[in-house]
Amino acid sequence: MSLPVRGPWVVTPTSSSVDWVVAAAALAATTGGSAAAVVLGGPSAVPAATRSPSVAAQPPDVTAQPPSVAAPAPDVTAQPPSVAALAPHVAAQSPDVTALASPVAALAPHVAALAELPAGTGLDAVAAVVRDLDAKHDRVVILVGDGVVTPTGGDWTVADLATAVRAPVIVVTGAGPDAVGHTLLALEALDRRKVPGSVIVVGDGGDFDALPVRLAGRIPAGHAAFAGDFAVAAAGWVDALDGSRPASEQPPVVTAARPRDLQTRVAIRAAWTLGIAFLLAIVLLCLCGGLRYPGSYT
């Protein structure tokens, strides 16, 4: 795998029917270091197919909190002014916090900190939370359930957020008949805004050769069967996320051959210099001859 080690990644689906939270969990699980997550809009932003059927009893440290909000972590209590108002939504997660509703349940085992921001949070406030977490963790996965250019409750888009925090966008799509078309529209919108984008497919099948970038990952439809060893399985699902082709597919780079011998290079330059001087001399002789005998041309 050639995943970038540090930095934020914005994850967004092509439609509400895509089981896209698993892609964000895979990105967090394959960090190779400390990962954090930011969820915009809470569980309501996640398609019903990906939510937990029910919310079980909470661990002792979050019993007094609503299911979507956990207790503040000690390492994020001293927030800058723009983040302080959102501090109650930031929590340090541990692998045993699995009873919370998705996407928290899917992300909790793989992140050291998780921030759930309510719908309608302004762009500057979201960017401040992302930067704060980015300074403390190797990767920050940002989940936004809206489309690439669909305005959120905070009157900003995924593309706006990606630009503000200098993050690429991971477009998560399914394998249905309309998946390629939806993905192409999302990538085109990102390209117009100069935002780098990559694609992860959740599901089996589908022909994605028409995409302008190669797939950054493929998560099988039966990914739930790997819940016991998700991190190991995710390492085989997620590939390079820079959108470039692998080395085996790169066209050969053709460079002009240059003589290694210094004397040879000097000789070639001297030959070119003499040739140019000879041509200039001929041109001057022709001009002088024409001026000396003007009558010969009449």
Confidence class for position 260, pLDDT limits 50, 70, 90: low
Q: What's the rounded mean pLDDT across residues 150-170? A: 89
pLDDT for position 238: 85
pLDDT for position 109: 87
Query: Would you say residue 43 has pLDDT above 70?
Result: no
Confidence class for position 290, pLDDT limits 50, 70, 90: low
Residues 6 or more apart whose CB falls under 8 angstroms from that of 99 comprise 52, 55, 56, 57, 58, 59, 105
Find residue 198's DSSP bridge partners. 170
Q: How does pLDDT run across 170-204, given as a tens digit for each residue? A: 999 998 888 999 999 999 999 999 999 999 999 98
Q: Rounded distance, CA 129 to CA 260, Å? A: 54
Cα torsion for 58, 73, 163, 1, to the nearest 10°?
Answer: -80
Query: Would you say residue 252 has pLDDT above 60?
Result: no
Q: Rounded distance, CA 12 to CA 148, Å? A: 7
- The reported pTM is 0.63
Specify the range with the lowest mean pLDDT, choosing from 8-22, 38-52, 194-208, 244-258.
Answer: 244-258
Q: Rounded distance, CA 164 to CA 127, Å? A: 7
Query: Would you say residue 258 has pLDDT above 70?
Result: no
Helix (H) or strand (E) holding 199: strand 197-202
Q: What's the rounded mean pLDDT across residues 134-148? A: 91
Query: How much of the chain exceeds pLDDT 70, in percent?
Result: 66
Q: What's the rounded mean pLDDT across residues 69-83? A: 41
Q: How far is CA 286 from CA 235, 239, 275, 293, 296, in A?
A: 75, 67, 17, 11, 13
pLDDT for position 206: 81
